[in-house]
Structure 1
Amino acid sequence: MKYAFFLGCTIPARSRNYELSARNVAQKLGVELNDIPGFMCCGFPIKAADKHAALLMSAYNLALARQKGLDICALCSSCTSALTEAAHELEHDEEARKKINEQLAKAGLKYEGHTKVRHFARVLYEEVGPEKIKQQFTRDLKGLKVASHYGCHYLKPSEIYDNFD
């Protein structure tokens, strides 16, 4: 399991502990997270003001990952949503893809599709699996009460995900 590790703009600035924990967990579970030089903000923060610029930013990141032959693993649910939505739009809207690729060409890039985006929690659950994770426990967690918060954009856009419910 190899991924381009997408941190976006928020994780390095505000959640360094989350990043370090994810890197340690990934290493222990055999998930290779590759840093890609040049990754930028996913575009989510500016989408309301400039949808095209947000799409271009996401497409740039998707193209960089594809250039390395990797799918993307993101920690931020907003980044996961923005990148997934952009990939979906560019795959289904030929005119948008053409305009975006004209701009990406200036940076020597082209978005050709096929870049999958996965949230880190989804990688852990669907690819590593709960059983392998349990094997790594170093102490009994029985009786531990936890509440999960994977972020409000974790399952957005909903039409992209199988078994949304």
Structure 2
Amino acid sequence: MSKTKSDNKRRPDHLVSPFALIRISAILTVLLMLGHLWGYPWASTRDPLETQLVDTMHSVDFVFLGERSTYWNLYFGFGVLIAVLLLTLAIVLWLLSDLASVAPQRLGVMIGIISASCLFGAYLSFRFFYIPPFLTFLVICVLLSAAAVQLLRRQTHRDTTGEALS
């Protein structure tokens, strides 16, 4: 095989590189966000009691921190906020993946922290919500943990002045 052809082929381990694992996690986070939005309006109206509960959430207002609101406003607002935060996390993960070769150990710490928060998301999803977000958070946690371990094991090369090199 010629040198040109072998250079064009990606190594099989490319898909398990920190860069790829973080990018895959970003895509899964977008899917998690879309799944969350798919549940809109986040209320079931199949049962008369459920309909009554949703109507009550719309109609009961209260004052909190000097502002008048309803339980529905809080419920709906937090639902939208979670979608925005998941999308933001996906974008941040995508952008952070570019740092895998530049600052592997710093990125490893950041990815490890995000992985831990995804583990907590998996627990909360299992405990209070549904199996699909639990599994998605769990897969994201595993992928990010694998990326973090690889990144933290990498040595940062230093030049003679002590400056880090990529």
TM-score, scaled to structure 2: 0.29
The one of the two structures with greater contact order (alpha-carbon pairs below 8 A, sep at least 6) is 2
Q: Which has the larger radius of gyration?
A: 2
TM-score by length of 1: 0.29
